[in-house]
Structure 1
């Protein structure tokens, strides 16, 4: 049985695949094919996504919906395709995820035209998600010049690299900006989750990196809900696996969740596999507070204790010995 295809103006706007029920699902939400400036056909990209261990992808061609109908035919009972667009404006790019099939979001404007809010509303009215793409990309129109208000998430890790390492200074700058904004965002109750995508244009790029989302099912609505809530982490490849929990007086919270700890001690535990000799670091509103190097096996558990009065949130970064990223998480919020 194939996944239900959605067409603009008719049918269910949220296609659904069989999936594994409530679970962690791996997906790449920034993918280009030959229908814009990518080199590969959607059929090849879908096959490569499956081979990379992905459960879903989003088609995000530049300023066109022409590939939607092709991608719909590639969805199946165990592979979800989200309709999307990379809205490539004159002063920054953003991803419209979960829009209706055939829907086109306006893109021909710059920050001085004050038109981005119309596009953001258009996506939200469709039940979709708005993501600032590669905010520090070093080319004309690539840097994101708009305020983040109105955006649902930030692409802090974009894998369109110019060498053999999918982590560079542009990603480092995006991560630093996002990390600095977390404390204020959590204080006001409006923090924006981080996501990571390959921005695949060429062979071998899809899924490097990708976002791992906790969702009730493998459906567009559930995946978007998980991304919107920050119940997700970013992996360099499907060979990397990570879990993060915080426990206080028998209560447990995971990534993107809140833990009410009051004055109780909070035990933070991160378990990782697939990143030999990586360095695992814990981060709070005080910055980096703890780090531990893993063994050559790449398997290990790192623990650290804190209190809610000392840490507004906690998140994890996993880096290779050369400094490149292997994985990073959204925060667990302490209250």
Structure 2
């Protein structure tokens, strides 16, 4: 199958569904997409008669789905005869248009073999007191694997995050939940939590929890309703993030937001703090490395989000209750709520900024000060943000 997409096609309808027929007795469904990547980008996915079967965006040009296994990003299962669809999202189409080819086949395909990474050492936990039977756990709410556009397998990612001293990691591959069934099977001394980064041209949002697939084709209000209906949470991702800044209209603004993303390189730039204050006065800040591959993004835990919870598996409940804090890394200066006090760790000489703007210098490496209602932060004398505490 050959075709051509124009810029007008993209502006008229960005996601196109190309139908094909799966015959009875098919051993596999393999789709191959061809186009000139130097001239444009076409995202790739799949819909079956009973709904969503996978998404890889621009990370892949080919996928296979069988009864027992599927390309990461796609869901294995019965190959129901009938009309399926190749999903093509016209992400970047130049003014002169873009030619493409599609090839669909149904022959058996051997499952690729992957090797598990070796088990490494885990650094010791920081000396942080419990609070009324709860513990501050270190983690990260945004990461990617080979199930979307990341370079590491789930086990490799878990090993890397555990070696950084994290207690939990939310795996949030783009527009898919194919990674969810594998998370609990990974035993690397870290709790892996399910998420999905709902990804569009007008903004990204993470939906947290095992709540099923969230349809990125629907308006953003439907994502919020889906998360609430299924008992999950939703956060606004990197709201000031260049070509993926948050531009989606919403009837109701979620409380949770990625106030500190790894792309916030110059933390003297106050726009993320100003955005959070304008978004909601009761915003729940979280941090996110948005890890894809070593060398391209922050490592898992850069920044680190600390959550006061009964156990790592109860992190989402604790985030919904607003018990979060963010530091630049697992061992960086930290500001934590301890009841009606704040504990400033390794923060000697930093400035505590209170919700009303009042400031005081922290003297000492382990200091307790009275807490107010609202978000506090630690800054340098040059107004560089060092830590945030909800």
TM-score range, shorter chain: 0.5 to 0.7
The equivalent position to 1:44 in structure 2, one of 156, 159, 164, is 156
Residues 1:328 and 1:107: Cα distance change in structure 2 (over 3 Å): same
Residue 307 of structure 2 is aligned to residue 196 of structure 1: no
Question: How many matched pairs?
Answer: 256
TM-score, length-scaled by structure 2: 0.59
Counterparts of 1:247-266 in structure 2 under 5 Å? 253-254=339-340
CA distance in 1, matches of 2:287, 2:251: 17
Query: Unaligned regions of 5+ residues in structure 1, if any?
Result: 1-7, 9-19, 110-114, 186-190, 246-252, 255-268, 306-310, 331-335
Does the 8 Å CA contact 1:26/1:213 hold for their aligned counterparts? yes
Aligned with residue 229 of structure 2, among 125, 143, 154: 125
CA–CA distance in structure 2, aligned partners of residues 217 and 175 of structure 1: 29
Aligned partner of 1:263 in structure 2 is none
Aligned to 1:223: 315
Give the greater-gyration-radius structure (CA): 2
Measured against aligned partners, the alpha-carbon deviations of 1:134-171 in whole angstroms (never above 9, x if no partner) come to: 111111x433433371524111111135xxx47474xx
Aligned to 1:95: 206
CA offsets per residue over residues 197-256 of structure 1, 9 Å max, x none? Answer: 11112226110112111112222xx211210111111111111343335xxxxxxx44xx
Give distance in 2, aligned partners of 1:87 and 1:276: 40
Structure 2 residue 346 is the aligned partner of structure 1 residue 274: yes
Which residue is equivalent to 1:107? 216
Counterparts of residues 246-325 of structure 1 (less than 5 Å):
253-254=339-340, 269-275=341-347, 277-284=349-356, 288-292=357-361, 294=363, 299-301=365-367, 303=369, 313-320=373-380, 323-325=383-385
CA contact (8 A) 1:283 1:290 kept: no
Deviation at 1:321, TM superposition (A): 5.0
Q: How is 1:228-239 mapped onto 2 (pairs within 5 angstroms)? A: 228-239=320-331
* Equivalent residue, structure 2, for 1:250: none
User: Would the alpha carbon gap of residues 34 and 136 (structure 1) be closer, same or farther in structure 2, given more than 3 Å must change?
Assistant: same
* CA RMSD of superposed structures (Å): 2.8
Task: Tell me which residue corresponds to 1:86.
Answer: 197
In structure 2, C-alpha distance between the alignment counterparts of 1:282 and 1:48, rounded to whole Å:
35
Aligned ranges for residues 202-213 of structure 1 at < 5 Å?
202-203=293-294, 205-213=299-307
Deviation at 1:42?
A: 2.1
Q: Aligned equivalents of 2:382 and 2:345: distance in 1? A: 18
Pick one of 220, 244, 268 that aligns with 1:116.
220
Name the counterpart of 1:13.
none
Stretches of 4+ moved more than 6 A in 1? none
In 1, the alpha carbon distance for the partners of 2:279 and 2:242 equals 22
Matching of residue 135 in structure 1 with residue 239 in structure 2: yes
Distance 1:87 1:302, change over 3 A: same
Q: Which of residues 35, 42, 54 in structure 1 aligns to 2:147?
A: 35
Give the SS at the match of 1:84: strand
Unmatched segments (≥5 aa) in structure 2: 1-74, 76-129
Contact 1:136 1:144 (8 Å CA) reproduced: no
TM-score using structure 1 length = 0.68
